[in-house]
Amino acid sequence: MDCIMTRELALDVAPSYAALNRCQQTDSLPDCSEQTLTSQLQTSLDIQQQLDIFSMYVGRLLSITGIRLNTAFGEHSAAGSSNSCHAYKSLLVLNQQCLAEVHYHSDQPFSPSQQRDLVLLESEWLFALRNALVVARLQQMALKDPLTALGNRRFFDDSFAKAIQLSRRRQQTCALLLLDLDNFKQLNDNFGHAMGDELLIVVADCMREALRQTDSLFRFGGDEFAVILADEDADSADLVARRLLKAINQHHKCVQYGITASAGLAYLQPLQAAQQFFAAADRALYEAKASGKANLRQTGREVLNSAAAVSFSTSQTSNPPVTC
């Protein structure tokens, strides 16, 4: 397979998913006109870029409509991929360790000889893919909270700045929701930190289920969480906040241990600095905590109701915690 060179991959014969947009993608791929597939793959530690390089070679040999790669860090599709009536699945295994699962789609059945060709191409990808997965793992460890797998404070700072920039460039709404758990200290004191960790995982799962954009969820540490809402989610931020608090406050585990959540919601204002935006949400959270438990306070947008505080507590949350 090393005899297949990039100079042979004419765009007029490449499948749609592998075709390059000369204006947008050519600069992102290395100039490797005299390199083998293995050499090309080793020029990048990005999983998506490796998949796009690999897809060009597959498209040169076989008539396929798309390639999808499933890894422990998510699903990736080659640019322009589409499903078709025939599919072939292969496991990428190196040293008895499964690195990924790759799905090929075609309008025609995959013959045994084509499957052998794919295995040979895949063998050239294994070491480069393993290295890319190691990098992805290190990046995840640097940006994710190890307990809840939500974004950490470092990830939040970067995402927060980007969200503000994008909001102003597109002239779209941007909202920030800060959330804090009620009675969490008492839970740790009475039932231990192991139970506290379990409740934090429960809260993180509630947040994932209640929100579509899971990349916008963050845990600062302790029992403090943040949600960045942009575009459509920001336009309905009040409803999103209500849904989120309801999911947490009515979860059976939170009810059992008397845990509720309070939140502060702020909307980005014209010419408002990031620090001011964050401070506005923080003040709203402080007001929500000061006014009682399981409350939402918001600022930066007119509240249609005369009261800005919304209670999400249930009759059961007033009961004392009970053991399992």
Residues with catalytic function: 223
Planar angle of CA 37, 38, 43, nearest 5 degrees = 95
Planar angle of CA 132, 133, 136, nearest 5 degrees = 90
68/65 Cα distance (integer angstroms): 10
**Which among 177, 287, 307, 283 has a CA at the least distance from the CA of 238?**
177
- Residues 6 or more apart whose CB falls under 8 angstroms from that of 97 comprise none
Query: What number of CA atoms fall less than 13 Å from residue 166's CA on the CB side?
Result: 13
Kind of pairing, strands 97-106 and 310-311?
Answer: unpaired
* DSSP helix/strand/coil, 253: helix
Contact (Cβ atoms closer than 8 angstroms) between residue 46 and residue 132: yes
Q: What is the number of other CB atoms lying within 10 angstroms of the CB of residue 240?
A: 21
CA distances to 177, 227, 298, 306 from 309, rounded to whole Å, are: 14, 19, 8, 9
